Amino acid sequence: MQKELVDIAFNNSIRQIKKVSYHKTIDVVFGVYQGGSYDGWLTINLKPTSSLIDKLINAVAFGTQTGEGRVHAGYYKEIVHYWAEFWGAITNDKDLVAASCKGILIAGRSKGAAEALLIAVRMWSPMYDKKIIVGAIEPPLVCDKEYARFAEQVLGKENIQWTCYKNDIVPGVPPWFTFPGVKHQIGKRGLGLSIKDHETSTTKEEVIYKGLGYVE
């Protein structure tokens, strides 16, 4: 998984421009990446689960049908509900618009990681010829195989990267869904699943940086 995507997931190496909270269920930080091969690109960071409302949305895991396949109903309906405000936050800011013309890096942790994928697919358009790259830290599974194929087709499989830390239970649920792109396993998997591994990997950024080989 590219270091830049880890940076965005943990709000590092970003010139933050705007932070928006949509009914305390989607907290988004919009900014511009600083340095490296993605210097000047628009960045979008989505927070992990933190409230009771978030947990209730996580639980609405049955599938809802879109034109591209079935996706997690809770996340999808939340994104659709706030889409006009979300899109307006970008298009009404000249700095964000300028950055988006170079490319878009969108990343998150846990719930935010799943939403990052759905938002990236929704942002994609045949008229938009810039790259949209997704980084997902410990995402729950979010879509069926049909939607996953569509996401990989329009975004590029290599442009969707996600991690699984040891025996983290979250990237394995709900079991009737999948997650597209390139998976990066950090640490050896053993017997049993662990919510503790999820808490560690989504709150202690050094675990992810070290696991991916970016720090000693």
CATH number where 57 lies: 3.40.50.1820
Asked if the model's pLDDT at residue 13 lies above 50, the reply is yes
Residue 163 has pLDDT above 50, yes or no: yes
* SS3 assignment, position 29: strand
> 132 with 159: CB under 8 angstroms?
yes
Question: How many Cα atoms within 13 Å fall on the side-chain side of residue 174?
Answer: 16
Nearest to 113 by CA among 178, 167, 48, 52: 48
E strand or H helix at 109, and its extent? strand 104-109
Q: Is residue 36 part of a domain?
A: yes
> What is the Cα–Cα distance from 181 to 179, expressed in whole angstroms?
7
Q: What is the pTM of this model?
A: 0.92
Based on the structure, what is the number of domains in the chain? Answer: 1
Q: Name the band, by pLDDT with cuts 50, 70 and 90, for residue 27.
A: confident
Host domain of residue 95: 3-211
Q: What confidence category does residue 21 fall into, taking pLDDT thresholds of 50, 70 and 90?
A: confident
Nearest to 196 by CA among 155, 146, 119, 138: 138
Calpha distance 93→17 (Å, rounded): 9
60 falls within a domain: yes
Is 216 contained in some domain?
Answer: no
Q: What is the pLDDT of residues 46-90, one digit of tens each?
A: 988 654 443 544 555 678 899 999 999 988 988 999 999 999 999
In a domain, 64, yes or no: yes
Query: Is residue 116 a contact partner of residue 53, using CB atoms and an 8 Å limit?
Result: no
Encode pLDDT of 101-156 as tens digits.
Answer: 999 999 999 999 999 999 999 999 766 667 999 999 999 999 999 999 999 999 99
